[in-house]
Structure 1
Amino acid sequence: MKALVLFALSVATLGAQQAQNPSPMVEHTRAHPRLKEEAPAGRREALEVGTLFMPGGLKKTAPLLIHFHGGGWIAEIAAARAGGTAAISLQLGSGSGAYAKPFADPQLFLRLVAEAEAKSGITFAPITLSGWSAGYGAIREILKVPANYARVDRVLLIDGFHTGYVGGAPGKGPGQESVIEADGLQIFLQFARDAVAGRKRMVITHSEIFPGTFASTTECTDWLLAQLALPRKAVLRWGPMGLQQLSDASSGRFRLVGFAGNTAPDHVDQLHALPDLLKWLK
Protein backbone atom coordinates (compact mmCIF):
# COMPACT_ATOMS: atom_id res chain seq x y z
CA MET A 1 0.00 0.00 0.00
CA LYS A 2 2.87 2.35 0.86
CA ALA A 3 4.40 1.72 -2.57
CA LEU A 4 1.08 2.52 -4.26
CA VAL A 5 0.81 5.84 -2.38
CA LEU A 6 4.38 6.77 -3.33
CA PHE A 7 3.66 5.95 -6.98
CA ALA A 8 0.53 8.12 -6.96
CA LEU A 9 2.46 11.02 -5.44
CA SER A 10 5.22 10.71 -8.01
CA VAL A 11 2.72 10.79 -10.88
CA ALA A 12 0.99 13.84 -9.41
CA THR A 13 4.34 15.62 -9.04
CA LEU A 14 5.31 14.79 -12.62
CA GLY A 15 1.99 16.10 -13.91
CA ALA A 16 2.44 19.36 -12.02
CA GLN A 17 5.86 19.90 -13.57
CA GLN A 18 4.82 19.37 -17.19
CA ALA A 19 3.36 22.21 -19.28
CA GLN A 20 1.36 19.75 -21.37
CA ASN A 21 0.97 16.05 -21.45
CA PRO A 22 0.63 13.89 -24.43
CA SER A 23 1.08 10.68 -22.50
CA PRO A 24 4.77 10.08 -21.67
CA MET A 25 4.31 6.42 -22.56
CA VAL A 26 4.84 4.97 -26.04
CA GLU A 27 2.31 2.44 -27.27
CA HIS A 28 3.41 -0.38 -29.55
CA THR A 29 0.11 -1.62 -31.02
CA ARG A 30 0.33 0.55 -34.13
CA ALA A 31 3.43 0.56 -36.32
CA HIS A 32 3.97 4.36 -36.38
CA PRO A 33 5.68 4.34 -39.80
CA ARG A 34 7.69 7.38 -40.83
CA LEU A 35 8.48 9.00 -44.16
CA LYS A 36 12.06 8.60 -45.27
CA GLU A 37 13.81 11.95 -44.93
CA GLU A 38 14.94 13.16 -48.33
CA ALA A 39 15.32 16.32 -50.35
CA PRO A 40 13.16 16.12 -53.49
CA ALA A 41 14.70 17.45 -56.68
CA GLY A 42 13.97 21.11 -57.24
CA ARG A 43 15.02 24.68 -56.61
CA ARG A 44 15.00 26.38 -53.20
CA GLU A 45 14.92 30.07 -52.32
CA ALA A 46 15.28 31.63 -48.86
CA LEU A 47 12.46 34.05 -48.07
CA GLU A 48 11.93 36.72 -45.42
CA VAL A 49 10.59 33.84 -43.33
CA GLY A 50 10.73 30.25 -44.48
CA THR A 51 12.03 28.53 -47.60
CA LEU A 52 10.38 28.27 -51.00
CA PHE A 53 10.65 24.89 -52.74
CA MET A 54 9.92 24.59 -56.47
CA PRO A 55 9.99 21.15 -58.10
CA GLY A 56 10.70 21.07 -61.81
CA GLY A 57 8.01 21.59 -64.39
CA LEU A 58 5.88 24.18 -62.59
CA LYS A 59 3.47 26.09 -64.78
CA LYS A 60 3.25 29.89 -64.86
CA THR A 61 0.32 29.59 -62.47
CA ALA A 62 0.79 26.86 -59.87
CA PRO A 63 -0.66 25.73 -56.53
CA LEU A 64 1.24 26.74 -53.40
CA LEU A 65 1.36 24.87 -50.10
CA ILE A 66 2.46 26.96 -47.10
CA HIS A 67 3.19 24.66 -44.17
CA PHE A 68 3.85 25.64 -40.56
CA HIS A 69 5.77 23.45 -38.07
CA GLY A 70 7.35 20.04 -38.48
CA GLY A 71 10.24 19.15 -40.77
CA GLY A 72 10.36 21.30 -43.89
CA TRP A 73 11.35 18.26 -45.91
CA ILE A 74 7.94 16.71 -45.20
CA ALA A 75 6.19 19.67 -46.84
CA GLU A 76 8.56 19.38 -49.79
CA ILE A 77 7.77 15.69 -50.19
CA ALA A 78 4.05 16.50 -50.01
CA ALA A 79 4.39 19.14 -52.74
CA ALA A 80 6.52 16.89 -54.94
CA ARG A 81 4.03 14.03 -54.65
CA ALA A 82 1.09 16.34 -55.35
CA GLY A 83 2.69 17.26 -58.67
CA GLY A 84 2.98 20.76 -60.14
CA THR A 85 2.91 22.28 -56.65
CA ALA A 86 5.36 24.59 -54.85
CA ALA A 87 5.80 24.75 -51.09
CA ILE A 88 6.90 27.23 -48.46
CA SER A 89 7.89 25.64 -45.15
CA LEU A 90 8.26 27.63 -41.95
CA GLN A 91 9.83 26.39 -38.70
CA LEU A 92 9.51 29.21 -36.18
CA GLY A 93 9.95 27.54 -32.80
CA SER A 94 7.89 25.84 -30.10
CA GLY A 95 4.37 26.76 -29.08
CA SER A 96 1.61 28.46 -31.04
CA GLY A 97 2.83 31.87 -29.89
CA ALA A 98 6.06 31.44 -31.85
CA TYR A 99 3.96 31.06 -35.01
CA ALA A 100 1.37 33.70 -34.18
CA LYS A 101 3.79 36.49 -33.27
CA PRO A 102 5.39 37.14 -36.72
CA PHE A 103 1.98 37.15 -38.41
CA ALA A 104 0.66 39.74 -36.00
CA ASP A 105 2.16 41.92 -38.75
CA PRO A 106 -0.92 42.00 -41.03
CA GLN A 107 1.25 42.59 -44.12
CA LEU A 108 3.66 39.68 -43.65
CA PHE A 109 1.59 36.99 -45.36
CA LEU A 110 0.97 38.88 -48.60
CA ARG A 111 4.55 40.12 -48.55
CA LEU A 112 5.74 36.53 -48.28
CA VAL A 113 3.59 35.41 -51.21
CA ALA A 114 4.71 38.38 -53.30
CA GLU A 115 8.38 37.60 -52.57
CA ALA A 116 7.86 33.96 -53.54
CA GLU A 117 6.18 34.98 -56.78
CA ALA A 118 8.94 37.48 -57.61
CA LYS A 119 11.74 34.97 -57.00
CA SER A 120 10.02 32.17 -58.90
CA GLY A 121 8.36 34.11 -61.72
CA ILE A 122 5.19 32.14 -60.95
CA THR A 123 1.71 33.27 -59.94
CA PHE A 124 0.59 31.10 -57.05
CA ALA A 125 -3.01 29.89 -56.92
CA PRO A 126 -4.73 28.19 -55.25
CA ILE A 127 -2.99 28.74 -51.91
CA THR A 128 -3.22 26.12 -49.16
CA LEU A 129 -2.25 26.78 -45.55
CA SER A 130 -1.38 23.71 -43.50
CA GLY A 131 -0.27 23.56 -39.89
CA TRP A 132 0.72 20.69 -37.64
CA SER A 133 0.51 21.05 -33.87
CA ALA A 134 1.56 24.61 -32.91
CA GLY A 135 1.49 25.73 -36.54
CA TYR A 136 -2.19 26.62 -36.27
CA GLY A 137 -1.13 29.82 -34.47
CA ALA A 138 0.20 31.31 -37.71
CA ILE A 139 -2.87 30.28 -39.69
CA ARG A 140 -5.19 31.90 -37.16
CA GLU A 141 -3.37 35.23 -37.41
CA ILE A 142 -3.17 35.11 -41.21
CA LEU A 143 -6.89 34.46 -41.64
CA LYS A 144 -7.86 37.34 -39.35
CA VAL A 145 -6.78 39.81 -42.08
CA PRO A 146 -9.54 40.10 -44.74
CA ALA A 147 -7.09 40.50 -47.64
CA ASN A 148 -5.24 37.37 -46.53
CA TYR A 149 -8.47 35.46 -46.03
CA ALA A 150 -9.51 36.24 -49.58
CA ARG A 151 -6.21 34.90 -50.96
CA VAL A 152 -6.35 31.59 -49.06
CA ASP A 153 -8.36 28.84 -50.74
CA ARG A 154 -7.71 25.83 -48.52
CA VAL A 155 -6.78 25.11 -44.90
CA LEU A 156 -5.46 21.88 -43.41
CA LEU A 157 -5.14 21.68 -39.60
CA ILE A 158 -3.23 18.55 -38.54
CA ASP A 159 -3.78 17.75 -34.85
CA GLY A 160 -3.35 21.42 -34.05
CA PHE A 161 -6.52 23.33 -33.13
CA HIS A 162 -6.49 24.73 -29.60
CA THR A 163 -7.64 27.47 -27.29
CA GLY A 164 -7.65 28.16 -23.55
CA TYR A 165 -10.13 27.20 -20.86
CA VAL A 166 -12.52 29.64 -19.21
CA GLY A 167 -11.19 29.83 -15.67
CA GLY A 168 -7.72 28.79 -16.81
CA ALA A 169 -8.18 25.06 -16.28
CA PRO A 170 -10.43 22.17 -17.32
CA GLY A 171 -13.47 21.25 -15.24
CA LYS A 172 -14.32 24.78 -14.10
CA GLY A 173 -17.78 24.92 -15.67
CA PRO A 174 -21.17 23.79 -14.35
CA GLY A 175 -21.14 20.18 -13.26
CA GLN A 176 -17.32 20.22 -13.60
CA GLU A 177 -17.66 20.43 -17.38
CA SER A 178 -14.83 22.20 -19.18
CA VAL A 179 -15.68 25.48 -20.90
CA ILE A 180 -13.37 26.61 -23.68
CA GLU A 181 -12.53 30.16 -24.74
CA ALA A 182 -14.15 30.44 -28.15
CA ASP A 183 -12.76 33.82 -29.27
CA GLY A 184 -9.58 32.32 -30.73
CA LEU A 185 -11.57 29.78 -32.72
CA GLN A 186 -13.99 32.17 -34.42
CA ILE A 187 -11.92 32.71 -37.57
CA PHE A 188 -11.68 28.94 -38.06
CA LEU A 189 -15.43 28.70 -37.65
CA GLN A 190 -15.85 31.34 -40.36
CA PHE A 191 -13.57 29.40 -42.70
CA ALA A 192 -15.37 26.14 -41.91
CA ARG A 193 -18.73 27.72 -42.73
CA ASP A 194 -17.34 28.96 -46.03
CA ALA A 195 -16.08 25.43 -46.73
CA VAL A 196 -19.50 23.94 -45.95
CA ALA A 197 -20.98 26.47 -48.38
CA GLY A 198 -18.46 25.47 -51.07
CA ARG A 199 -16.54 28.75 -51.09
CA LYS A 200 -13.39 27.31 -49.42
CA ARG A 201 -11.95 23.87 -48.66
CA MET A 202 -11.02 22.74 -45.15
CA VAL A 203 -9.78 19.53 -43.53
CA ILE A 204 -9.12 19.14 -39.79
CA THR A 205 -7.64 16.03 -38.18
CA HIS A 206 -7.15 15.35 -34.49
CA SER A 207 -5.95 12.75 -32.00
CA GLU A 208 -7.15 11.90 -28.48
CA ILE A 209 -4.32 13.76 -26.72
CA PHE A 210 -5.41 15.75 -23.66
CA PRO A 211 -2.82 18.50 -23.00
CA GLY A 212 -4.38 19.51 -19.69
CA THR A 213 -3.17 23.12 -19.62
CA PHE A 214 -5.15 24.15 -22.71
CA ALA A 215 -8.13 22.76 -24.60
CA SER A 216 -7.53 19.59 -26.58
CA THR A 217 -8.14 19.18 -30.29
CA THR A 218 -11.06 16.89 -29.40
CA GLU A 219 -12.73 19.56 -27.25
CA CYS A 220 -12.14 22.25 -29.86
CA THR A 221 -13.45 20.15 -32.73
CA ASP A 222 -16.50 19.18 -30.64
CA TRP A 223 -17.19 22.90 -30.22
CA LEU A 224 -16.70 23.54 -33.94
CA LEU A 225 -19.07 20.75 -34.97
CA ALA A 226 -21.69 22.04 -32.53
CA GLN A 227 -21.51 25.50 -34.13
CA LEU A 228 -21.85 23.93 -37.59
CA ALA A 229 -24.66 21.62 -36.40
CA LEU A 230 -22.75 18.67 -37.88
CA PRO A 231 -22.81 15.25 -36.20
CA ARG A 232 -19.77 13.01 -35.85
CA LYS A 233 -20.14 9.59 -37.39
CA ALA A 234 -18.34 6.80 -35.54
CA VAL A 235 -16.16 4.76 -37.89
CA LEU A 236 -13.37 2.25 -37.51
CA ARG A 237 -10.99 2.08 -40.44
CA TRP A 238 -7.33 2.41 -41.31
CA GLY A 239 -6.11 5.85 -42.36
CA PRO A 240 -2.85 7.03 -43.92
CA MET A 241 0.49 6.15 -42.28
CA GLY A 242 -1.08 3.45 -40.11
CA LEU A 243 -3.49 5.85 -38.40
CA GLN A 244 -6.71 4.38 -37.03
CA GLN A 245 -9.71 6.53 -37.85
CA LEU A 246 -12.44 6.72 -35.22
CA SER A 247 -14.77 9.46 -36.45
CA ASP A 248 -15.76 11.49 -39.49
CA ALA A 249 -17.89 14.57 -40.10
CA SER A 250 -18.30 16.32 -43.42
CA SER A 251 -20.48 18.72 -45.34
CA GLY A 252 -19.81 20.54 -48.61
CA ARG A 253 -16.04 21.02 -48.84
CA PHE A 254 -15.48 20.66 -45.09
CA ARG A 255 -14.23 17.48 -43.44
CA LEU A 256 -13.17 16.66 -39.88
CA VAL A 257 -11.53 13.34 -39.03
CA GLY A 258 -10.68 11.93 -35.61
CA PHE A 259 -7.87 9.40 -35.13
CA ALA A 260 -6.98 7.13 -32.22
CA GLY A 261 -4.03 7.77 -29.94
CA ASN A 262 -2.95 9.89 -26.98
CA THR A 263 0.83 9.56 -27.16
CA ALA A 264 3.53 11.63 -28.80
CA PRO A 265 4.08 9.05 -31.60
CA ASP A 266 0.35 9.28 -32.44
CA HIS A 267 0.74 13.04 -32.77
CA VAL A 268 3.77 12.69 -35.09
CA ASP A 269 1.97 10.05 -37.18
CA GLN A 270 -0.35 12.77 -38.42
CA LEU A 271 2.51 15.04 -39.48
CA HIS A 272 3.99 12.24 -41.58
CA ALA A 273 0.56 11.74 -43.18
CA LEU A 274 0.75 15.25 -44.71
CA PRO A 275 1.28 14.02 -48.31
CA ASP A 276 -1.87 11.89 -48.04
CA LEU A 277 -3.94 14.45 -46.14
CA LEU A 278 -3.17 17.06 -48.77
CA LYS A 279 -5.03 14.91 -51.30
CA TRP A 280 -8.19 15.20 -49.20
CA LEU A 281 -8.38 18.90 -50.07
CA LYS A 282 -8.85 18.26 -53.78
Structure 2
Amino acid sequence: MALRRALAAAATLAALTLLPAGAGAQDPADLPSPAGEPPPVPSGIDLLQKRSYWARSAAARPFVSALMDLGVIYFRPSLALGVGKPHWSWLGIEAYASGSPSGGAEYLGLRAALPSVEIRGGARYAFSTTQYFLEPRASYTRRDTELMQGPPSRYVAAELEVSGSIPLLGGSLFGVATGYAVLGTPEGFYLYEEALHAVMKPPYLYRARLGYMAEMDRFGELRLGAAAEVLGNPGRDSVVVRLGPVLAVSLTHHLDAVGTVMVVAATPDRLGLLGADLGQLGLRYRWATGDRWPEFP
Protein backbone atom coordinates (compact mmCIF):
# COMPACT_ATOMS: atom_id res chain seq x y z
CA MET A 1 0.00 0.00 0.00
CA ALA A 2 2.78 2.42 0.90
CA LEU A 3 4.58 1.62 -2.36
CA ARG A 4 1.43 2.25 -4.41
CA ARG A 5 0.92 5.58 -2.68
CA ALA A 6 4.53 6.56 -3.33
CA LEU A 7 4.26 5.66 -7.03
CA ALA A 8 0.97 7.53 -7.36
CA ALA A 9 2.48 10.55 -5.63
CA ALA A 10 5.50 10.59 -7.92
CA ALA A 11 3.36 10.33 -11.05
CA THR A 12 0.94 13.02 -9.90
CA LEU A 13 3.66 15.46 -8.94
CA ALA A 14 5.55 14.87 -12.19
CA ALA A 15 2.42 15.69 -14.19
CA LEU A 16 1.59 18.76 -12.13
CA THR A 17 5.15 20.02 -12.29
CA LEU A 18 5.03 20.15 -16.08
CA LEU A 19 1.86 22.21 -16.17
CA PRO A 20 3.01 25.45 -14.57
CA ALA A 21 6.49 25.23 -16.08
CA GLY A 22 5.03 24.90 -19.56
CA ALA A 23 2.49 27.61 -18.96
CA GLY A 24 5.24 30.05 -18.04
CA ALA A 25 7.31 29.12 -21.13
CA GLN A 26 10.37 28.84 -18.91
CA ASP A 27 13.60 27.33 -20.16
CA PRO A 28 14.55 24.12 -18.30
CA ALA A 29 18.18 25.15 -18.75
CA ASP A 30 17.47 27.84 -16.15
CA LEU A 31 16.83 25.22 -13.49
CA PRO A 32 18.98 26.03 -10.45
CA SER A 33 20.96 23.22 -8.87
CA PRO A 34 19.48 22.39 -5.45
CA ALA A 35 22.83 20.98 -4.31
CA GLY A 36 24.04 24.45 -3.42
CA GLU A 37 20.86 25.76 -1.84
CA PRO A 38 20.04 25.96 1.85
CA PRO A 39 17.21 23.78 3.16
CA PRO A 40 13.88 24.87 1.68
CA VAL A 41 11.82 27.43 3.54
CA PRO A 42 8.71 25.96 5.20
CA SER A 43 6.02 25.22 2.63
CA GLY A 44 3.04 25.23 4.99
CA ILE A 45 2.24 21.56 4.41
CA ASP A 46 4.55 20.63 7.29
CA LEU A 47 1.67 21.16 9.72
CA LEU A 48 -0.64 18.94 7.68
CA GLN A 49 1.92 16.12 7.78
CA LYS A 50 1.86 15.99 11.57
CA ARG A 51 0.59 12.55 12.56
CA SER A 52 -1.25 11.84 15.80
CA TYR A 53 1.19 8.97 16.26
CA TRP A 54 3.61 11.50 17.76
CA ALA A 55 1.00 12.50 20.34
CA ARG A 56 0.64 8.85 21.42
CA SER A 57 4.14 7.42 21.03
CA ALA A 58 5.37 8.74 24.41
CA ALA A 59 4.60 11.28 27.11
CA ALA A 60 5.88 14.84 27.07
CA ARG A 61 9.59 14.83 27.89
CA PRO A 62 12.96 16.40 27.10
CA PHE A 63 14.08 15.08 23.72
CA VAL A 64 16.41 15.32 20.78
CA SER A 65 14.73 15.04 17.38
CA ALA A 66 15.72 15.12 13.73
CA LEU A 67 13.99 15.95 10.48
CA MET A 68 15.79 14.62 7.42
CA ASP A 69 14.89 15.73 3.89
CA LEU A 70 16.16 13.54 1.06
CA GLY A 71 15.74 14.76 -2.51
CA VAL A 72 17.07 13.77 -5.90
CA ILE A 73 20.51 15.30 -5.34
CA TYR A 74 20.40 16.68 -1.80
CA PHE A 75 20.28 15.61 1.84
CA ARG A 76 19.22 18.21 4.39
CA PRO A 77 19.11 17.23 8.07
CA SER A 78 17.97 19.46 10.92
CA LEU A 79 18.16 18.83 14.66
CA ALA A 80 16.07 20.06 17.58
CA LEU A 81 16.51 20.00 21.36
CA GLY A 82 13.24 20.55 23.17
CA VAL A 83 10.61 19.70 25.75
CA GLY A 84 7.19 18.23 24.93
CA LYS A 85 6.09 15.76 22.29
CA PRO A 86 8.47 15.92 19.30
CA HIS A 87 6.95 16.58 15.86
CA TRP A 88 3.64 17.41 17.57
CA SER A 89 3.61 19.90 20.45
CA TRP A 90 6.88 21.20 21.86
CA LEU A 91 9.15 24.10 22.71
CA GLY A 92 12.84 24.20 22.02
CA ILE A 93 15.89 25.06 19.92
CA GLU A 94 16.43 23.93 16.34
CA ALA A 95 19.40 24.13 14.00
CA TYR A 96 20.60 23.05 10.59
CA ALA A 97 23.71 23.37 8.47
CA SER A 98 24.22 22.65 4.79
CA GLY A 99 27.15 22.99 2.45
CA SER A 100 28.29 22.33 -1.09
CA PRO A 101 31.04 23.51 -3.46
CA SER A 102 28.83 26.50 -4.34
CA GLY A 103 28.02 27.63 -0.79
CA GLY A 104 25.95 26.79 2.25
CA ALA A 105 23.87 27.99 5.19
CA GLU A 106 23.65 27.68 8.96
CA TYR A 107 20.53 28.33 11.05
CA LEU A 108 19.83 28.53 14.77
CA GLY A 109 16.51 29.48 16.32
CA LEU A 110 13.62 28.84 18.71
CA ARG A 111 10.35 27.10 17.88
CA ALA A 112 7.04 26.78 19.76
CA ALA A 113 4.69 24.20 18.23
CA LEU A 114 1.08 23.20 18.77
CA PRO A 115 -0.72 20.66 16.56
CA SER A 116 -2.16 23.32 14.24
CA VAL A 117 -0.06 26.43 14.95
CA GLU A 118 3.68 27.05 15.06
CA ILE A 119 5.89 30.08 15.57
CA ARG A 120 9.64 30.25 15.12
CA GLY A 121 12.36 32.86 15.18
CA GLY A 122 16.06 32.67 14.50
CA ALA A 123 19.01 33.71 12.38
CA ARG A 124 20.40 32.18 9.18
CA TYR A 125 23.90 32.79 7.90
CA ALA A 126 24.22 32.22 4.15
CA PHE A 127 27.38 32.23 2.08
CA SER A 128 28.07 31.54 -1.57
CA THR A 129 31.18 30.91 -3.66
CA THR A 130 29.34 31.56 -6.94
CA GLN A 131 26.88 34.36 -6.06
CA TYR A 132 27.91 38.01 -5.63
CA PHE A 133 26.15 41.12 -4.37
CA LEU A 134 24.39 42.91 -7.21
CA GLU A 135 24.61 46.38 -8.67
CA PRO A 136 21.20 48.12 -8.33
CA ARG A 137 18.90 47.70 -11.35
CA ALA A 138 15.20 48.19 -12.00
CA SER A 139 14.94 44.61 -13.31
CA TYR A 140 17.21 41.56 -13.41
CA THR A 141 17.76 38.62 -15.71
CA ARG A 142 19.48 35.43 -14.65
CA ARG A 143 22.61 36.61 -16.46
CA ASP A 144 22.55 39.81 -14.35
CA THR A 145 22.59 37.74 -11.15
CA GLU A 146 25.71 35.90 -12.34
CA LEU A 147 27.84 39.02 -12.84
CA MET A 148 30.80 39.31 -10.44
CA GLN A 149 30.64 43.07 -9.94
CA GLY A 150 30.14 43.18 -6.18
CA PRO A 151 31.62 41.43 -3.13
CA PRO A 152 30.92 37.69 -2.62
CA SER A 153 27.45 37.09 -1.21
CA ARG A 154 27.55 36.60 2.57
CA TYR A 155 24.83 37.78 4.92
CA VAL A 156 22.75 37.05 8.01
CA ALA A 157 18.95 36.88 7.79
CA ALA A 158 16.91 37.30 10.97
CA GLU A 159 13.62 35.43 10.52
CA LEU A 160 10.26 35.43 12.31
CA GLU A 161 7.53 33.08 11.09
CA VAL A 162 4.00 32.02 11.99
CA SER A 163 2.21 29.09 10.33
CA GLY A 164 -1.18 27.50 10.88
CA SER A 165 -3.87 25.26 9.42
CA ILE A 166 -7.62 24.68 9.83
CA PRO A 167 -9.90 21.87 8.55
CA LEU A 168 -12.09 22.94 5.63
CA LEU A 169 -14.39 21.07 3.21
CA GLY A 170 -12.77 17.66 3.37
CA GLY A 171 -9.27 19.05 3.52
CA SER A 172 -7.24 21.78 5.18
CA LEU A 173 -6.51 25.44 4.59
CA PHE A 174 -2.95 26.39 5.53
CA GLY A 175 -0.89 29.54 5.65
CA VAL A 176 2.63 30.78 6.37
CA ALA A 177 3.71 34.36 7.09
CA THR A 178 7.42 35.20 7.40
CA GLY A 179 9.36 38.40 7.94
CA TYR A 180 13.08 38.74 7.13
CA ALA A 181 15.66 41.35 8.09
CA VAL A 182 18.88 40.85 6.10
CA LEU A 183 21.97 42.13 7.87
CA GLY A 184 25.67 42.40 7.09
CA THR A 185 25.33 43.53 3.47
CA PRO A 186 27.56 46.19 1.85
CA GLU A 187 25.99 49.61 1.38
CA GLY A 188 24.54 50.28 -2.05
CA PHE A 189 24.19 46.68 -3.24
CA TYR A 190 21.22 44.37 -3.81
CA LEU A 191 21.36 40.60 -3.34
CA TYR A 192 19.84 37.38 -4.59
CA GLU A 193 18.27 35.83 -1.48
CA GLU A 194 19.33 32.18 -1.64
CA ALA A 195 16.46 30.59 0.28
CA LEU A 196 13.60 32.61 -1.21
CA HIS A 197 14.95 32.78 -4.80
CA ALA A 198 14.34 36.50 -5.22
CA VAL A 199 16.40 39.64 -5.79
CA MET A 200 15.99 42.16 -2.96
CA LYS A 201 17.30 45.45 -1.66
CA PRO A 202 18.24 44.97 2.01
CA PRO A 203 17.19 44.91 4.68
CA TYR A 204 13.51 43.83 4.67
CA LEU A 205 11.60 41.10 2.87
CA TYR A 206 8.32 39.36 3.66
CA ARG A 207 6.56 36.24 2.44
CA ALA A 208 2.91 35.19 2.76
CA ARG A 209 1.71 31.81 1.46
CA LEU A 210 -1.86 30.49 1.44
CA GLY A 211 -2.96 27.10 0.18
CA TYR A 212 -5.49 24.32 0.35
CA MET A 213 -4.97 20.55 0.39
CA ALA A 214 -7.77 18.05 -0.12
CA GLU A 215 -7.65 14.63 1.51
CA MET A 216 -7.73 12.11 -1.31
CA ASP A 217 -8.35 9.07 0.90
CA ARG A 218 -10.36 8.32 4.03
CA PHE A 219 -7.31 8.39 6.33
CA GLY A 220 -5.82 11.64 5.06
CA GLU A 221 -2.60 9.90 4.03
CA LEU A 222 -2.69 11.30 0.49
CA ARG A 223 -3.21 15.05 0.17
CA LEU A 224 -3.22 17.09 -3.01
CA GLY A 225 -3.76 20.78 -3.48
CA ALA A 226 -2.38 24.13 -4.57
CA ALA A 227 -0.85 27.22 -3.03
CA ALA A 228 -0.04 30.83 -3.89
CA GLU A 229 2.43 33.17 -2.26
CA VAL A 230 3.53 36.78 -2.34
CA LEU A 231 7.09 38.00 -1.72
CA GLY A 232 7.41 41.70 -0.98
CA ASN A 233 10.55 43.84 -0.82
CA PRO A 234 9.89 47.41 0.41
CA GLY A 235 13.39 48.50 -0.66
CA ARG A 236 12.66 47.79 -4.34
CA ASP A 237 8.93 48.52 -3.95
CA SER A 238 8.42 45.19 -5.71
CA VAL A 239 6.19 42.14 -5.37
CA VAL A 240 6.73 38.61 -6.66
CA VAL A 241 3.76 36.23 -7.00
CA ARG A 242 4.27 32.47 -7.25
CA LEU A 243 1.81 29.59 -7.41
CA GLY A 244 1.73 25.86 -8.02
CA PRO A 245 0.72 22.39 -6.86
CA VAL A 246 1.50 20.83 -3.48
CA LEU A 247 1.47 17.15 -2.62
CA ALA A 248 1.96 15.18 0.59
CA VAL A 249 1.87 11.42 1.14
CA SER A 250 2.22 9.69 4.51
CA LEU A 251 4.10 6.45 3.85
CA THR A 252 4.67 5.40 7.48
CA HIS A 253 4.42 7.07 10.89
CA HIS A 254 7.92 8.41 10.34
CA LEU A 255 8.26 8.81 6.56
CA ASP A 256 6.50 11.22 4.17
CA ALA A 257 6.80 12.09 0.52
CA VAL A 258 6.39 15.83 -0.10
CA GLY A 259 6.37 18.03 -3.15
CA THR A 260 6.02 21.79 -3.63
CA VAL A 261 6.44 23.41 -7.04
CA MET A 262 5.95 27.19 -6.98
CA VAL A 263 6.55 28.93 -10.32
CA VAL A 264 6.53 32.66 -10.95
CA ALA A 265 3.26 34.27 -12.02
CA ALA A 266 4.27 37.94 -11.65
CA THR A 267 7.64 39.59 -11.05
CA PRO A 268 9.65 42.70 -12.00
CA ASP A 269 12.54 40.41 -12.99
CA ARG A 270 13.20 37.76 -15.63
CA LEU A 271 15.04 35.05 -13.72
CA GLY A 272 13.41 32.01 -15.34
CA LEU A 273 13.35 29.02 -13.02
CA LEU A 274 16.00 30.68 -10.85
CA GLY A 275 13.08 32.65 -9.43
CA ALA A 276 10.91 29.58 -8.79
CA ASP A 277 10.71 27.58 -5.57
CA LEU A 278 11.50 23.96 -6.49
CA GLY A 279 13.28 23.16 -3.25
CA GLN A 280 10.93 20.68 -1.59
CA LEU A 281 10.77 17.55 -3.73
CA GLY A 282 11.58 14.31 -1.96
CA LEU A 283 11.21 12.23 1.17
CA ARG A 284 11.07 13.42 4.77
CA TYR A 285 11.94 11.22 7.74
CA ARG A 286 11.19 12.05 11.40
CA TRP A 287 13.13 10.68 14.36
CA ALA A 288 13.17 11.41 18.10
CA THR A 289 14.59 10.01 21.30
CA GLY A 290 12.08 8.27 23.55
CA ASP A 291 9.94 7.11 20.62
CA ARG A 292 7.96 4.15 21.96
CA TRP A 293 7.65 2.37 18.60
CA PRO A 294 10.67 3.36 16.53
CA GLU A 295 10.71 2.11 12.96
CA PHE A 296 12.66 2.59 9.78
CA PRO A 297 11.36 3.71 7.46
TM-score, length basis structure 1: 0.28
More helix by share: 1
More strand by share: 2
